[in-house]
Amino acid sequence: MDVEAPTLRQRVESTVLTKKGRIAAQYILDNQNEVAYLPATSLAKKIGMCDVTIHRLAKQIGYESYSALQKSLQDSISQQLTNSGFVYRSPGEVMTEKFNGQTADAVEVIHESARVATENVNAMYRKLSAEVIESSANALLNARRVYVAGFWSAAALAELFVEKFLYNNDNIFSITSTGPEGMARAMSIQKHDCLLVYSVNRPIDALERIVKIAKEKGATIILIANKETCWLASYADHCLVGSTEGVGFLSLVAPLLISEILLSCSVSKVWKKRKKYTDSLNTLLEDMDYYKD
């Protein structure tokens, strides 16, 4: 008979830890969704310790490494999502809840939209890890090819990212169709490629299939999601979170800002190498009188 593995809490409670170890362990217990995708260095900075303490703690409580601890947390999150399901609410239902069943006027909608978007951005900023941004930007730049996937509302984010990333790299492709052409492009993903995925709302079967293909091929996966407990989080090598809570429809302000940060961080690393390309492009556009005076 299989013996059930002890939970994280059981591991912590059954281990004699130093004062620093107890503080770190308690933070992990209280913030499991965050720690599941937070690099050890970033976690150490948050609680005022060195990353050696974090790696040592993981081994003390019975994991092979901090990465193994994170994998356990990610699997737990994925299982919770599988059991809980997803409840869809239409934009009208969301607005009805926001305004207590009343019809909102334009002034109220403007005020509430600005308030919610500001809260989303502030929450994103507090959680954003410079280390994850740096590693994600490097993964994009070092990839042989980059694929960017997003459906429905996220399709606009994916297409915009591709258009701007062309400044850095010609080998970038969007996957925004759930039809055969989208799946055919996903089948081209290989080991040294990178897949950037936008998941901002409901689970979509085709998107999970694409992510699984990339995972099986050994590609690096970057996830921009609306919450830490995103249904695709367990597949990701790097996870960036920006809430999409809106007044009626989804608010894409926070995921869009994450995209801009990733793009800016990427271009800062390669702009000198791409200067000849951009100069040639600007010359061509001027010759075409593309921009009107």
User: What is the per-residue pLDDT for 172?
Assistant: 93
Both 142 and 270 in a single domain?
A: yes
Give me the torsion for CA of 3, 6, 10, 16, rounded to 10°.
100
In this structure, are 59 and 183 located in the same domain? no
Residues 125, 241 contacting (CB under 8 angstroms): no
Distance, CA of 281 to chain centre? 32
Parent domain of 207: 103-274
What average pLDDT does the segment 122-140 reach?
91
The pLDDT tens digits for 24-59 are 888 888 888 778 877 888 888 888 888 888 999 999
Q: Are strands 172-175 and 146-149 parallel, antiparallel or unpaired?
A: parallel
- Tens digits of residue pLDDT in 236-248: 999 999 998 888 8
| Number of domains the chain is built from | 2
80 — pLDDT class (breaks 50, 70, 90): low
Q: With pLDDT > 90 as the criterion, what percentage of the chain qualifies?
A: 36
Residues 68 and 112 in one domain: no
Residues 72 and 117 in one domain: no
Burial class of residue 179 (count of CB atoms within 10 Å of its CB; 0-12, 13-18, 19+): exposed
Supply the pLDDT for residue 88: 59
Note whether 36 and 153 are same-domain residues.
no
User: Would 147 be classed as within a structural domain?
Assistant: yes
Question: Which DSSP string corresponds to 167-208?
Answer: TT-S-EEEE---SHHHHHHHTT--TT-EEEEEE-SS--HHHH
What CATH code is carried by the domain that includes residue 239?
3.40.50.10490
The answer to whether 95 touches 248, Cβ cutoff 8 Å, is yes
User: Quick one: tokens of 145?
Assistant: 């090819």
Which of 124-128, 154-158, 181-185 has the largest mean confidence?
154-158
- Residue 154: inside a domain: yes
DSSP string, 114-163: HHHHHHHHHHHHHH--HHHHHHHHHHHHH-SSEEEE--THHHHHHHHHHH
C-beta separation of 222 from 261 below 8 A: no
285 domain-assigned = no
pLDDT, one tens digit per residue, over 134-178 is 999 999 999 999 999 999 889 999 999 999 998 878 899 999 988
Residue 1 in domain: no
286 lies in some domain: no
The Cβ of residue 180 has, within 10 Å, a number of other Cβ atoms equal to: 8
Return contacts of 230-237, CB within 8 angstroms, 24+ apart.
230/81, 230/199, 231/78, 231/81, 231/86, 231/199, 231/203, 232/197, 232/199, 232/207, 232/208, 233/36, 233/37, 233/74, 233/77, 233/78, 234/74, 234/75, 234/77, 234/78, 235/211, 236/37, 236/197, 237/139
- Per-residue pLDDT of 84-97, as tens digits, reads 555 556 667 766 77
- Same domain, yes or no: 111 and 242: yes
The CATH number linked to 16 is 1.10.10.10
Range 234-259 average pLDDT? 90
Residue 6: is its pLDDT beyond 60? yes
Question: Residue 84's pLDDT is what?
Answer: 52
**Dist. CA 65–CA 77, nearest whole Å:** 19
Residues 126 and 201 in one domain: yes
C-beta neighbour count of 183 within 10 angstroms = 15
One domain for residues 147 and 75: no
Task: Sort residue 101 into left (φ over 0), alpha (ψ -120 to 50) or beta.
Answer: left
Residues 151, 265: one domain? Answer: yes
Residues whose CB falls within 8 Å of the CB of residue 266, separated by 6 or more in sequence, listed in order: 137, 140, 141, 165, 168
Residues 51 and 19 in one domain: yes
In a domain, 293, yes or no: no
CA atoms within 13 A on the CB side of 159: 8
Instruction: Check whether residue 119 and residue 260 sit in a common domain.
Output: yes
Q: Are residues 109 and 235 in the same domain?
A: yes
Contact criterion met (CB below 8 Å) for 151 and 207: yes
